[in-house]
Copies of this chain bind each other. A is one copy, B any other.
Amino acid sequence: MTEKLFMAGNEAIAEAAIRAGCRYYFGYPITPQNEIPEYMARRLPEVSGVFLQAESEVASIYMVFGASGAGARVMTSSSSPGISLMQEGISYIAAGELPCVIVNMMRGGPGLGGIQPSQSDYFQATKGGGHGDYHLLVLAPSTVQEAVSLTMEAFDLADKYRNPVMILGDGFIGQMMEPAVFEKKSESNPPAKEWALTGAQGRKANLIRTLDLNPVKLEQHNRKLQRKFEEMIKNEVRVENYLTEDADIVIAAYGTVARIAKTAIQVLRNKGVKAGMVRPISLFPFPYKAFEEVTQHVGKILVVEMSLGQMLEDVKLGVCGKADIRFYGRVGGMVPTYEEIVTETEKFVKETN
């Protein structure tokens, strides 16, 4: 049954997880995502689930490893420094081919930084903050509604590829209240997982491991993982082309910045500037093709991020020299206004004409 609720992004993500069958949550508090563990602490017992605040983020992520290995749908969430502490565990989870969902509500700065919104963990999320050849599947919602549907989808994708999926947001998206429709989704158990450690009665024992001292076998395992990443690249690219068809200039932005960019684009169009946007929704796999295609009729791409230029590299890889690229970034918790984006766009249009 479809239901429409008015909720903050963090709470909506938590509720969506539960409706997707998530029954285990392990985490450690950190602003600006504490509404997620708070909601989980209240709601999970109602559905016979387990909420547990662990000793640290290191402990949390290994509890996620454990629950996932036992076949459960499981989630953790944190913000930048906490996600850094999970990097070893995330690498182990990817190596062990275990499905789980990890939410990162990014905050400003390296170090302890600040609690305002940021997009400075793009590299960590998409290139692999942990060690070894692996990737997270990374989804970046820009509305509460999208946070809901991507979170639900995240659990299915995690199971499909047996790989961790990250929801990448920030305090803006986490604390903003918007109406969101929750599509009918069974709250009950996901499909059985034959590989899971559920007790080996009447069958051969399963084994989950992340170590192989034989390099021939370890290479085979790594290539197997690689094939999954290639499957993701083939099947799971999500991108929004917004008013790109007649655009002379395209803005590249995701998440919170993409919301602001939409306003900027309306203002620009009212002023006669044909601006559009390519909005990556999946950051890994990245929509390189969407950028390659847009260069067939667009010569200017303005990348706007709350970072000092991270997605910028992927845009460059997609564009591959076929369009001019400029970058505008705000950091440390500063959020670019639509006026700033309008100004930067107009400057770009003028100066290079």
Residues of A within 8 A of B (CB): 42, 48, 50, 52-56, 58-59, 62-63, 66, 80-85, 87-88, 91-92, 94-96, 106, 108-116, 118, 120-121, 123-124, 127-134, 199, 209-223, 225-226, 307-308, 310, 313, 316-317, 320-322, 330-334
Contact = CB atoms under 8 A, between A and B. Distances in A.
Contact of A111 (B95, B110, B121, B317): B95
Contact of A58 (B85, B128, B219, B333): B85
A124 B130 contact: yes
A133 B308 CA distance: 6
B133 A331 contact: yes
B95 A308 contact: no
Query: Could you say how many copies of this chain the assembly holds?
Result: 4
A56 B58 CA distance: 11
B211 A114 contact: yes
A132 B225 contact: no
A133 B310 contact: yes
Contacts of A313: 313, 317
B131 A218 contact: no
B50 A55 contact: no
Contacts of A132: 80, 108-111, 113, 118, 120-121
Contacts of A133: 109-110, 120, 307-308, 310, 331
Point out which of A54, A106, A109, A226 has the most chain B C-beta atoms below 10 A from its C-beta.
A109
A334 B209 CA distance: 19
8 contacts: A50-B52, A54-B55, A96-B111, A112-B210, A113-B218, A133-B331, A218-B332, A321-B322
A52 B52 contact: yes
